[in-house]
Amino acid sequence: MGMIDITGKETVLREAVASGRIRLAPETLARIKEYKIKKGDPRAVAEIAGINAAKETARLIPHCHQIPLSTVDVSFSLEKDFIEATCLVKAKATTGVEMEALVGVSIALAVIWDMVKYLEKDESGQYPSTRISDIRVIKKTKKPLSSYDPD
């Protein structure tokens, strides 16, 4: 069994948005807001990692096609006890980009965890309250290329 044959599918504008959350201690979130994390700003590093991850999706998920992505945008919202990450992906393609959005947001969240894990560990080295959750596709669209307006 190989990849699905998409040879006959029409090229259209594809867009997907995925989001997810990482639950962190209030003290950790305060340090992020104050740019006091030892490894640097987790949001900046996670943004680049999420972009890179989305571009590598076909190498990570065996049945995904290589898609030339038009854009990848990773953004963050800091809330009371979590950070919400959102990944937008667009491409002119014959197959959807929701997996790229999911991979982008997942890696962005994992990078945040990596950068703040020293603050999240308890006295026995465990993570009792740190959680990545709610990873989901929140929007998926496809439109004819004739409707594309870059402005």
Q: Nearest-CA neighbor of 73 among 93, 97, 96, 38? A: 97
Distance from C-alpha of 54 to C-alpha of 59, rounded to nearest angstrom: 10
Out of 81, 114, 134, 151, the active site residue is: 114
Active site residue 114: yes
Sign of dihedral through CA atoms 91, 113, 83, 42?
Answer: negative
Query: Given the structure tokens 């992906």, which residue do they identify?
Result: 89
Active site residues: 114
